[in-house]
Amino acid sequence: MPTIRVQSAPFSLGEESEGFAAGRTETGAVVTFTGLVRDTGGISRMEIEHYPGMTEKAIGDIVDEAMGRWTLDDALVIHRHGTLVPGDRIMMVATAARHRAAAFEAAEYLMDYLKSRAPFWKKEYGPDGAEWVAAKDEDEDALSRW
Amino acid sequence: MPTIRVQSAPFSLGEESEGFAAGRTETGAVVTFTGLVRDTGGISRMEIEHYPGMTEKAIGDIVDEAMGRWTLDDALVIHRHGTLVPGDRIMMVATAARHRAAAFEAAEYLMDYLKSRAPFWKKEYGPDGAEWVAAKDEDEDALSRW
Amino acid sequence: MIDVMYFAWVRERIGEPRERVETDAATVADLVEELKAREPRYEAAFADLSALRVALDQELSDFDAPLAGVREVAFFPPMTGG
Amino acid sequence: MIDVMYFAWVRERIGEPRERVETDAATVADLVEELKAREPRYEAAFADLSALRVALDQELSDFDAPLAGVREVAFFPPMTGG
């Protein structure tokens, strides 16, 4: 059963990684991805807004699609909202599969879809004021490979 | 500075993940891959032999090549040798980069080369006796994409 | 009556996160026209529909989708999660 | 004198992990022929060179590589790490 958590609280990458897919002796490959707040242009903080209800549903649909495309033993998505500062972990995904290709591909798929199809919006607060992060064409384009 | 460790002792995926690239506010993306012993065909244990001296050198060359191809903020490779049982972690890689594409690609590159170019050999002990794991054509073929 | 929700800079331009709207609009685009006719803040928020996304009952949809049976409409810019 | 090392099933067939070899072989292939001429266990280990890899001073190399100046030769099957 995949795990999906949308929360304002920080999460422990160490504990999540250690516990993920533990005790599964059919699993040969585990991939994790962690996204962090970068200190670009001296930003002091980031606010992440989301759409409660739709967020969980959208992530659930993305995870279901990944579980169907690849034979995954397990999957995990954690995504924070609220206030974060540079160095903070924004989100993570983890995938477990028999072989490495499936684990890597599924993790990249989850990331590509979470970027552009899960209802989160980032606002950065820097020396020149606050600005909503613009969606990148390359993130939309990334979906076309799947 | 990348970290490379070749050891018979187990490692903590949790602690390694938690500590990797910690405090780097230029890093936006961290990818980890962990390889585990699978319980295929009822194997009871695996022995991993390696070539001390060459192992560290070969992994070092692979990591250097990855650091040159992608702009990585950090990289980590841990690979065990000796006796392992199903569920045990054989090895892990971690990559840190500004953006997710570089972190994913570099981690996949490291895995592809560690599979076929680092001097490790696996022997599986199962109900029908012991057998050296044969190299797969697909692992050799995987190198051609880089 | 329909619940209309706004997120990110759409919410900021309109000045509130959600409201109940009395409407007979047949499609999302019709609803947008009704809202734009109300006040300049709606005109500002809906000036460029290509910069907006819409969800109907929490599923991504299109501006030409029908509103029949829909309870919740949400307008927002392209997502920037991950 | 050269150090010759064997790994995995090559080591098992030859029965030891390393040995010192007195040789004037010009290339790896020449060294292999000398070893095969010694005893059947070497013939068994080197029966199919396409199933083997060789490293010279801990760098992957080829069977037609020259041995001049090389201190350590290692023979082993394709690697199966990761």
pLDDT tens-digit readout, D29-64: 999 999 999 999 999 999 999 999 999 999 999 999
Of A26, A33, A35, the CB nearest to B38: A26
- Please give the Cα distance from B9 to D15 (Å, whole number): 27
Cβ–Cβ contact B143 with D under 8 A = no
Q: Cβ distance C75 to C10 under 8 Å?
A: yes
Residue A62 is predicted with a pLDDT of 98
Q: Given this structure, which CATH class describes domain D10-76?
A: alpha beta
- For chain D, the domains span 10-76
Judge: D78–B116 Cβ closer than 8 Å, yes or no: yes
Q: Which chains touch A (3 or more CB pairs under 8 A)?
A: B, C
Residue D17 is predicted with a pLDDT of 98
The rounded Cα A64 to chain-centroid distance in angstroms is 15
Q: Residues in chain A, how many?
A: 146
Cβ neighbours for A64, distance < 8 A, ≥ 6 positions apart = none
- For chain B, the domains span 3-131
The residue written with tokens 């909202």 in the block is A81
Residue B41 is predicted with a pLDDT of 84
Query: Closest approach of chain C CAs to the CA of A116, in angstroms?
Result: 5
Cβ–Cβ contact B134 with D under 8 A = yes
**pLDDT per position as a tens digit, B28-66:** 999 999 999 999 888 999 999 999 999 999 999 999 999
Proportion of chain B above pLDDT 90, given as a percent: 93
The tokens of A120 are what? 């989160």
Residue B22 is predicted with a pLDDT of 87
Long-range Cβ contacts of B56-61 (<8 Å, 24+ apart): B56/B4, B56/B6, B57/D58, B57/D59, B58/B117, B58/B118, B58/B119, B58/D58, B58/D60, B59/B4, B59/B6, B59/B114, B59/B118, B60/B4
Query: Closest approach of chain C CAs to the CA of A106, in angstroms?
Result: 15
DSSP character at residue B145: G
Q: Tell me the average pLDDT across B102-115.
A: 98
Residue B40 is predicted with a pLDDT of 86
| CB-CB neighbors (< 8 A) of D73 in chain B | none
Q: Tell me the average pLDDT across B63-70.
A: 97
Q: Which chains touch D (3 or more CB pairs under 8 A)?
A: B
Residue B49 is predicted with a pLDDT of 98
Note the pTM of the prediction, 2 decimals.
Answer: 0.96
**pLDDT per position as a tens digit, C2-46:** 999 999 999 999 999 999 999 999 999 999 999 999 999 999 999
> Taking 90 as the threshold, does the pLDDT of residue B85 lie above it?
yes
Residue A41 is predicted with a pLDDT of 84
> Taking 90 as the threshold, does the pLDDT of residue B100 lie above it?
yes
Does A3-131 carry CATH code 1.10.357.10? no
A55-64 CB burial, b ≥16 within 10 A, e <16? bbbbbeebbe
Residue C77 is predicted with a pLDDT of 98
Does D contact C via 3+ CB–CB distances below 8 Å?
no
Of B57, B111, B120, the CB nearest to D80: B120
**pLDDT per position as a tens digit, A79-106:** 999 999 999 999 999 999 999 999 999 9
Query: Does ipTM come in above 0.85?
Result: yes
- Count residue pairs from B and D with Cβ separation < 8 A: 72
Q: How confident is the model at residue B78 (pLDDT cuts 50, 70, 90)?
A: very high
Q: Which chains touch B (3 or more CB pairs under 8 A)?
A: A, D
Proportion of chain D above pLDDT 70, given as a percent: 100
A111: number of Cβ within 10 Å? 26
| CB-CB neighbors (< 8 A) of B26 in chain A | 38-39
Query: Closest approach of chain A CAs to the CA of B37, in angstroms?
Result: 6
| CB-CB neighbors (< 8 A) of A13 in chain B | 17-18
Query: Closest approach of chain D CAs to the CA of B124, in angstroms?
Result: 12
- Please give the Cα distance from B138 to C69 (Å, whole number): 52
Which residues are D54's β-sheet partners? D61, D75
* pLDDT tens series, chain A, 146 aa: 899 999 999 999 999 999 998 888 999 999 999 999 999 888 999 999 999 999 999 999 999 999 999 999 999 999 999 999 999 999 999 999 999 999 999 999 999 999 999 999 999 999 999 999 999 999 999 999 99
Q: Cβ distance D6 to D17 under 8 Å?
A: yes
